[in-house]
Amino acid sequence: MSNLAPLAYLGVDTGGTFTDFVLFQDNQIHCYKCPSTPAQPEVAILNGIRQLGLMDLVDAGRLVVVHGSTVATNAALEGKGAKTVFITNRGFADMLTIGRQTRDKLYDLKPKPKVVPVPASLCLETGGRVGADGVIVEALSEHDLDRLIAEIKRIQPDAVAINLLFSFIDSQFEKAIAEHIPEGIFISRSSEVLPEYKEYERGMATWLNAWLGPKVASYLGNLRASLKRTPISVMQSSGGTTDAANAAQRAVNLLLSGPAGGLAAAKYLGQSLQRPKLMSFDMGGTSSDVALINGEIKLTNEGRIGPYPVAVPMVDMHTIGAGGGSIAYLDEGGMLRVGPESAGAEPGPACYNKGGLKPTVTDANVVLGRLPANAQLGGDMPINYEAARAAINGLANSLGLSIENAAAGIVDIANEHMVRALRVISVQRGHDPADFSLCCFGGAGGLHICALADALACHEIIVPNYAGVFSALGMLLAPRERQLSRTINTGLAETNIAALEQALLELADTGREQLIVEGIDAAQIVTNASVDLCYVGQSYTLNLAWQNDTANLQSAFHKAHRDHYGHELDLPIQLINIRQALRADTLELSLPDVLTGPPAHEVDFHTITLDDAEHMTSVPRYERQQLRAHQVITGPALISDTVATVWIARHWQAQADPKGHLILNKHSQ
């Protein structure tokens, strides 16, 4: 890289439909969208960089790229991982198939058989077993190694996942096997991916990392080769970034890479507006993501992607298949359904004029007038209004409804899916949605947000500036990060505080060294130690900030258990895992102020079908870039920019703050 300081920072969020760009240069922000290229995601990124005129900066090494990717997510959901061999100890080859023996539907007496993660032909057993006390139960012999390598050469996999029992205590056998794997095969070791107890969850994380690794490594390798001297960081599922070289080896840590960017930006927004309690709603073309922020972004080690448990740290988020591209259809009983199948980027909704014929949520919004027929999606993609009507018309005829009523039905069903998701992360966890501001972003979020707020009885909506590319903005706001852990599994009362603090220090030193290698100044790195605790006999833990006083830690755990479960138990407490989170802020970004002065006038009027689908009215449309600080707009009205449109429904009023964020509240007209 050039010795000169970087002149520009580019946040990139690759979604299922669009790839979003936010460029921060000379204290100014520029936004851009282009269609994603799912088969080769790096192509869309390079297209956007060229369209933004940044190739000279790339050649000079004066551009920094921070990227959020859906490559790992989509590959996992679509079952398109690499051919992967799973290696474990003798007698445990079917570990991932048996799992926890849980059933998705408890009272379904005839459940459909699940597809096994790893076919039996790809599961290999070996010696090299360590006991729970760290004592070697069975050594790893030369014969074991020779047989393993011979089997691997016969199978010719793309990747190998090594998951030996209690390898988090002693990793020597996993390392020995890895050293003998032929070159050119992606290797994933459980003692490196997730050095924690629970052999099934550790095994799943290790297998997912290997199964997805070759695709992620190939794609990031192509991107690095194309951008040459440009530093590239990648957003992790935990809300922090790492460099592309490390990310290429840690695919399992990228499963919520894109959505985590949106939460990083939402946290920044909440802090700047002094609104620490936010319910985030991120609606893109393919899916919608919802989460709760109560001062900090909550992480979980009990996440899932499709049918797979993911025990690595990730933002606590709920995702549903309801986006702008979600397809509407009639089921076998003639009922109207919406999603989860999406029109994606190719061909996309019918209104994109790229060959799509199936009706989608976006087409419904076009028919209802909430997405203006003269809009330019992403700034340069015109909408085909007639194609949207034609797509909805077939569905309307089957339902015996007008086109407008059918479109309203599609939007209502999509809204209900999203309301249900928001209730999962609020009401079902003991939180009143009225206590939170509903923060919406994503290209399609602003079209639905008033209806969701009404359904949830939320009093305030925040539509941030740059909402259509908010996750890409979050890439630039996220810190560089490492999340490290280790299983200890000891009684809290018997804990050797000095030994535990030494173990925490070792984790911190490891993370600090990794960040320094990535070019981070040691003085910038902040560490945050925590521990996972539970009552003896419990399988699930609660994470608490570390304090070197076991009596205080015990009291804190009892309180946390009461808050979480409504009661505490008179049982000893077990300390299961220790954790270190290391973070370093890499860019101080201040959003520019919007113009002040007389309020901007509407640019035109559009015919809108109102909520009852029976009445139409003409409403004003405002250009968001022209709004002045403190300008108030009363609904019904449209506010649009090149990357998103906001529908201000009746009884709602929006006010622009000095940074251009829209704050919506109910009004009495």
Confidence class for position 613, pLDDT limits 50, 70, 90? low
Instruction: Give per-residue pLDDT as tens, 485-521.
Output: 999 999 999 999 999 999 999 999 999 999 999 889 9
* For residues 87-104, average pLDDT: 89
Kind plus residue range of the DSSP H or E element containing 545: strand 542-545
Specify the higher pLDDT residue, 608 or 584: 584
Assigned CATH for 262-310+414-476 = 3.30.420
- What pLDDT does residue 268 have? 92
Q: Which pLDDT score is estimated for 4?
A: 53
What pLDDT shows up at residue 284? 81
Q: What integer is the mean pLDDT of 532-551?
A: 93
Domain boundary assignment for the chain: 8-76+217-254, 79-215, 262-310+414-476, 480-584, 604-666
Per-residue pLDDT, 604: 85
Binned at pLDDT 50, 70 and 90, residue 229 comes out as confident
Averaged pLDDT, 395-415: 93
CB 145 within 8 A of CB 180: yes
The answer on pLDDT for 654 being more than 80 is: yes
Residue 612 confidence (pLDDT) above 70: no
Region 111-139: mean pLDDT is: 92
pLDDT, tens only, 169-184: 999 999 999 999 999 9
Quick check: 668 pLDDT over 80? no
Min mean pLDDT across 273-282, 390-399, 607-616 is at 607-616
| Residue 1: band (very low, low, confident or very high) from pLDDT cuts 50, 70, 90 | very low
The per-residue pLDDT for range 585-605, each reduced to its tens digit, is: 878 888 888 888 888 888 888
Q: Note whether 8-76+217-254 and 262-310+414-476 share their fold.
A: yes
Question: Which CATH number, 3.40.50.450, 1.20.1600.10, 3.30.420.40, 3.40.50.720, labels domain 8-76+217-254?
Answer: 3.30.420.40
Instruction: Give 442's pLDDT tier (boundaries 50, 70, 90).
Output: confident
Q: What is the pLDDT of residue 2?
A: 39
For tokens 């397809």, the residue is: 327
Rounded Cα–Cα distance for residues 533 and 489 (Å): 9
**According to the per-residue pLDDT averaged within each range, which of 59-73, 364-378, 565-579 is highest?**
565-579
Per-residue pLDDT, averaged over 551-556, amounts to 94
- Amino acid 513 reads E
On whether the CB atoms of residues 377 and 354 are closer than 8 A, the answer is: no
| Percent of residues, the chain, with pLDDT higher than 90 | 68
- In Å, the largest CA–CA distance within the chain is 82
Q: Which CATH number, 3.30.9, 2.90.10, 3.30.1490, 1.10.10, labels domain 480-584?
A: 3.30.1490
CATH of domain 79-215: 3.40.50
611 C-beta neighbours (distance < 10 Å), count: 17
Mean pLDDT of 229-243: 92
Q: Are 544 and 492 in contact (CB under 8 A)?
A: no
pLDDT of residue 325 exceeding 80: yes
- Residues whose CB falls within 8 Å of the CB of residue 643, separated by 6 or more in sequence, listed in order: 20, 31, 33, 378, 379, 443, 466, 467, 468, 469
pLDDT at residue 378 is higher than 70: no
Contact indicator for 657, 629 with CB cutoff of 8 Å? yes
pLDDT band at 415 (very low <50, low <70, confident <90, very high): very high
Average pLDDT of every residue of the chain: 90
Q: Nearest-CA neighbor of 514 among 246, 175, 252, 187?
A: 246
Phi, psi (deg, nearest 5) at residue 66: -120, 120
Bigger pLDDT: 643 vs 536: 536
Mean pLDDT computed over 515-536? 93
Average pLDDT over every residue of 279-308: 88
pLDDT at 347: 86
